[in-house]
Structure 1
Amino acid sequence: MTLILGLTASAFAGENPDRAKVTFNKELVEANLLKGVASTNFGLRTSSAMMLGKLKSEKALFALMKMLRMEDDERGRIVAALSLYNIGDSVGLYAVKQQARFDKSERVRRLCTIFYLESLKIASAG
């Protein structure tokens, strides 16, 4: 066991530090997350939507607005609304405002109202 650990440690010790760097390509990440939003897997769909909101990805606006409008599960609609709020684009915020008025779920309507009103506070303060 010690021999294996020693060999493994020595193999990584001589590794080129430039090769070990992790690069972040926002466009590639956004493209993969947009594929995740279109997935049939609920967990992947919602986690991708949440990450796109954290990245403030304007490329995700239409996919998130579609999710907000079409998602069967209210939790998914809430995640889409929160992500649109985080992005802060006026078109996305208008979609959140409309969902606050017309969603079939009282919970979604209430949270969309909170997100929309909070966006107005931020806009008036900034």
Structure 2
Amino acid sequence: MDASVRTPLLHGQAGHADEGLPTPAAYGQVQDHPAFLRACHSPWRCLPQNALCWIRGGVVAYLTAVGAMILDYKLREKSPYSNWRVVFDFSIVTYSLLLIYHLVVLGWTYTHLYHPHIDDSNRG
């Protein structure tokens, strides 16, 4: 197959200036905000940011409570292996990553809502 027939994977490759994937700016959507700011705001206009903070807090509380119950169940489960098997269990690892993600995003949302201009504070 001739190389000129194939579609380029990246936009703006040499020789393919008019072809390829469109940039987000081509759709009129420029993502000029960092990822944490996009995660801090609700995609729905009817849900204010303080309600989003409470919802995220509820999700973190729920995940923490369920995680404690899952950990208790896994440790009491009969197994010929040691309890260290729980640390390497795929479901526990993915659940832990999910909980960490929600904790980080809750921290971002809370900080952005209640302390939006942290750089303007007095230091020293």
TM-score by length of 1: 0.26
Larger helix share, 1 or 2: 1
Greater relative contact order (CA < 8 Å, ≥ 6 in sequence): 2
